[in-house]
Amino acid sequence: MSSFLALWPLAAASPASSRSILFCIPNYRPSPPRVSFPLHQSSRRGRLKAPRAENVANGAESNPPNGNLPKSRRDILLEYVKNVQPEFMDLFIKRAPHQVVDAMRQTVTNMIGTLPPQFFAVTVSTVAENLAQLMYSVLMTGYMFRNAQYRLELQQSLEQVALPDIKEVKDETDYAPGTQKKVTGEVIRWNKASGPEKMDAIKYIELLEAEIEELNRQVARKSANGQNELLDYLKSLEPQNLKELTSSAGEDVIFAMNTFIKRLLAVSDPAQMKTTATETSAPELAKLLYWLMVVGYSIRNIEVRFDMERVLGTPPKLVELPPGEDI
């Protein structure tokens, strides 16, 4: 059996045990799930099938506000979770930072196991209630990854500012550090916002040298034991610092996550949640968990962008949502 089944005995798992399996990140425990469903009867069976956008039920909360009024954070988040499709993962893989994609893949692999599907047919069974708790935890993990990525990028930017000048860094190649630049003239660079810009040729060469130096540092970091910077950063945090990465999730975020879970489960009656059986193969479950992680990551991205646009006074870029939200 896969390591996932060994860690999480589905038939008897409690919500606490199902949450505690998430990742091999020391000290990490997701916040208690706040998965809530309205009380009404439903005869539909639980299944691991994401309905297409056109099949999403139109509830009162999904009605768009007056066209003359800007959409709220909750409106934008709900628009995303009600329409985003699994195909968005392909776009995410192309545009997201490599270490984020790699961290998500490693996390899902740690949860599901590494048995080759061509030789082993692993089936995972549970009830809808347990699956809902797992879904919430994975969504929140994607949300946490985005916050951690923000902090890691800021930390690296500050380190870059504090680094010594290139001419002060020792070079172990066949050449002495730095160059004598006997170049005159200008180069023209194209600014996406303002158009062509002129730059002194010597300054441009220095800029290229600085970029090469930074790329060399990044390669050195990645080649050290083949580690993932994002996962290493998370493992280095204290429990309180890890908790801070998800504590920013407000009511709008939680509501959007719950809406997405209900969309996937198609079961909302509390009694049925405890009894409705759900079964799937390990590869299909891995795809679902990866999608959930991507959606959680994107929810945080949308939330931050909304707040920034509100502070700057610019209108939300609704035409990009969903699924092409700006990673």
Question: 94-130 pLDDT, tens per residue?
Answer: 889 889 999 999 999 998 888 888 888 888 899 999 9
Tell me what pLDDT residue 192 has. Answer: 82
Does residue 276 or residue 258 have the better pLDDT?
A: 258
Model pLDDT for residues 3-58, shown as the tens digit of each residue: 333 223 333 333 333 333 344 454 454 444 455 444 333 334 444 444 444 444 44
- Going from N- to C-terminal start, the domains of the chain cover 3-164+237-320, 168-219
The residue-averaged pLDDT of 185-189 equals 85
The amino acid that residue 142 corresponds to is G
Q: How far apart are CA 317 and CA 76, in angstroms?
A: 10
Does the predicted model carry a pTM greater than 0.85? no
Is 26 in contact with 235 (CB distance < 8 Å)?
Answer: yes
Is 181 within 8 Å of 164 (Cβ atoms)? no
Q: Which long-range contacts (CB under 8 A, 24 or more apart) does 195-199 make?
A: none
